[in-house]
Chains A and B, each alone.
Chain A
Amino acid sequence: MQDMLTNPTASLILAHADDKLMLGHVQSDWTGLGPILEEDIASSAMAQDDLSHALTLYEYLGNTYGLDPDVIAFERDPADYMCCDLTTQSDEFDWANSVVKRWLMAAFTQIAIERLSRHDDADLVARCGRILPEQNLQVTHLERWIKRLAQAGPESQARMQAALDRIAPLAGMVLEIPGRLVNDDDGYYCGREEIFKQWTDQLQITLQDAGLAATFTLPDRNVEGGRRGKHADHFHEQLTEMTEVRRIEPGAAW
């Protein structure tokens, strides 16, 4: 486990996998409770995509480091999870928060996984290649929801803007440098300004079309949050719930 946690490339993959795990975890909890049956089904399918994307990345790391993917997913110390603050922020069971958060994450992840797919490991590239079409579908689907809800009258426009106001300040934390990459000057995150621009340019086009407004900020390289294991209380509650059954009989098959 330590070999994986101290490897810069593995840290980067873990950051994306943990984002996906937490996104899928939270959205899967909406299954059966969505506002419209048809969208309940669609959003659950996207939650399953996110969980599957997390799993394929955990499997890749598991194969590389000789670890059970479930152990990677469920049995690390809380400080070794590298999901960003945007993913672990509670949506407070509010559909506007859910749509905004997932849209911001989906647009970022599309860019991030596309860059990860340029890696020189064929297995990793193939896994990213399977993620990307589904990721693209998520971005398209969520962009439509952002526009549709924002343009459907004053009530929903106000709810969408309020969700953006609440969530946008944390959005830049997707580009917080994961703990093990702080000194990785030659690596992926030296291009974070470029990624940030690509991502936020895309967001602003949609926001303009939707009639919404938000400002995004790239955090300083030294900012410490979820990607460096410094998680809000909400994450710890989520992790405790996620591992509740496994902890009853450690090591047992379920």
Chain B
Amino acid sequence: MSGASNPSQPMDPTGHEDPEKLAEFEQRIADGVLIEAGDWMPDAYRMGMLGMAEHHANSEIIGALPEGEWITRAPSMRRKLALTAKVQDEVGHGQMLYRVSQELGKSRDDMLRDLVTGKTKYHNCFNYPAPTWADIAMIQWLIDGAAIMNQKTLADGAYGPYVRTMNRINMEEAFHFKSGEDMVLTLMSGTPGQKKMTQEAFDRWWPVSLMFFGPADKPNAESRPPMRWRMKVERNDSLRQRFVNRFAPAAQDLGLTVNVVTKDDKGYVTSATPDEALMLDEATGNWSFTQPDWDEFWRVIRGNGPCNQHRLSLRRFSYEQGGWVRRAITSGTVSTPPAA
């Protein structure tokens, strides 16, 4: 489901690398050659790719939780099957991305342990509540739609194992997006109560979707390692603009209103007014729009979002209750659960 928009870009090329090797590495990237796990790479590149793939993997398995909570309530056999398969796909994406990360030098057990102890992060968008069935439709339509946009650019990156994984994931995400679109369309073709539920869910998820791509990059992003080394290939603002261009008119076509909202600390909307800034610039083809609340973004990413504790505690519960199974099949070579 999730892309890997990591707002922090702490990495710098380091002076301790062999200049010839570094130059050769950068030339390969400039020539469009994919870097493979066994190739020489700067330490900063290895650590950066590991951080990116691990963050992405964490996001997949945490991202399975909000939708997973609705499997038991899915309102038809077809939706129940589709949602189970969808959440299973996300777990599969996590598995593939942990494999990529493992090749870069960190064990699966260490990664899962770091996730449940809060040492590593996951995507911010999963720290918001999904209180109705329509929220599940919005996650699949908007968040998976945003993830596809982001991950298509990540598939143009330079690290071979990650690129191939993105290509596989994107094929499945396309199904998720179609499923979400069908759910939203069904709800917006339904009763007044269903339409109201859908608009309210849209109000909750539209600003989260805008934040999905992360805050604006620094002015010199293209010359800094993540973009220079093609770990990411497009600016966050550019992706966000493409998202709005695609989804704002689509929402309007479905009868939804793009609102500017305020939320309480539980993530519920307290006021919603139509976004007066929303309009198409015929000359550029871009839609102008109101930016989301970036103060909220930073509050949530620092651990103070509506569902941070809930999501992490469920993940931790799963990790702890499954510990004996992992020890059993690995002959005790994985660690015991961390202390609470």
**Chain A interfacial positions (CB closer than 8 Å to B):** 24-25, 28-29, 31-41, 44-45, 47-48, 51-52, 54-55, 58, 69-70, 73-74, 93-95, 148-149, 152-153, 155-156, 159, 238, 241-242, 244-246, 248-249, 252-254
Residues from 163 to 191 in B contacting A, C-beta threshold 8 Å? 183, 186-187, 189-191
Determine the distance from Cα of A254 to Cα of B73 in the docked complex, in whole angstroms: 12
**B87 and A252 form a contact (CB under 8 A):** no
Q: A45-B88, A47-B84 are in contact. Are A245 and B74 (CB under 8 A)?
A: yes
**A249 and B133 form a contact (CB under 8 A):** no
9 contacts between A and B (CB under 8 A): A24-B80, A32-B61, A33-B314, A41-B95, A73-B77, A241-B72, A245-B74, A249-B193, A254-B190
Residues in chain B near residue A37, CB distance under 8 A: 61, 91, 94-95, 98
Check: B331 CB closer than 8 A to any chain A CB.
Answer: yes
**A31 and B87 form a contact (CB under 8 A):** yes
CB-CB nearest in chain B for A59: B77
Check: B338 CB closer than 8 A to any chain A CB.
Answer: no
CB-CB nearest in chain A for B88: A44
Check: B329 CB closer than 8 A to any chain A CB.
Answer: yes
Report the 4 A-B pairs with minimum CB-CB distance, sorted nearest first.
A35-B322, A32-B64, A152-B328, A35-B325
Determine the distance from Cα of A48 to Cα of B78 in the docked complex, in whole angstroms: 11
CB-CB nearest in chain B for A247: B75
**Interface residue tally of chain B, by bracket?**
35 or more
CB-CB nearest in chain B for A49: B81
Residues in chain B near residue A74, CB distance under 8 A: 75-76
**Chain B interfacial positions (CB closer than 8 Å to A):** 61, 64-65, 68, 71-81, 84-85, 87-88, 90-92, 94-95, 98, 133, 183, 186-187, 189-191, 193-194, 197, 314, 317-318, 321-329, 331-332
Determine the distance from Cα of A24 to Cα of B83 in the docked complex, in whole angstroms: 13
**B194 and A249 form a contact (CB under 8 A):** yes
**B190 and A155 form a contact (CB under 8 A):** no
**B71 and A54 form a contact (CB under 8 A):** no
The listed residue (A28, A36, A40, A52) touching B71 by CB distance below 8 A is A28
Residues in chain B near residue A40, CB distance under 8 A: 88, 91
**B91 and A245 form a contact (CB under 8 A):** no
Q: A37-B98, A48-B88, A249-B194 are in contact. Are A242 and B73 (CB under 8 A)?
A: yes
**A31 and B88 form a contact (CB under 8 A):** yes
Determine the distance from Cα of A253 to Cα of B186 in the docked complex, in whole angstroms: 7
**B321 and A95 form a contact (CB under 8 A):** yes
Determine the distance from Cα of A52 to Cα of B84 in the docked complex, in whole angstroms: 12
Residues in chain A near residue B78, CB distance under 8 A: 70
CB-CB nearest in chain A for B77: A55
CB-CB nearest in chain B for A95: B325
Other A-B pairs, 11, CB within 8 Å; known A48-B84, A48-B88: A32-B91, A34-B91, A37-B95, A44-B85, A44-B87, A69-B77, A73-B77, A152-B328, A153-B331, A246-B76, A254-B187
Determine the distance from Cα of A10 to Cα of B98 in the docked complex, in whole angstroms: 47
**A254 and B133 form a contact (CB under 8 A):** yes
Determine the distance from Cα of A121 to Cα of B69 in the docked complex, in whole angstroms: 39
**A32 and B98 form a contact (CB under 8 A):** no
**A153 and B88 form a contact (CB under 8 A):** no
Residues in chain B near residue A244, CB distance under 8 A: 73
**A70 and B88 form a contact (CB under 8 A):** no
**A48 and B81 form a contact (CB under 8 A):** yes
Determine the distance from Cα of A41 to Cα of B61 in the docked complex, in whole angstroms: 12
Question: Smallest distance from the beta carbon of B281 to chain A beta carbons, Å?
Answer: 37
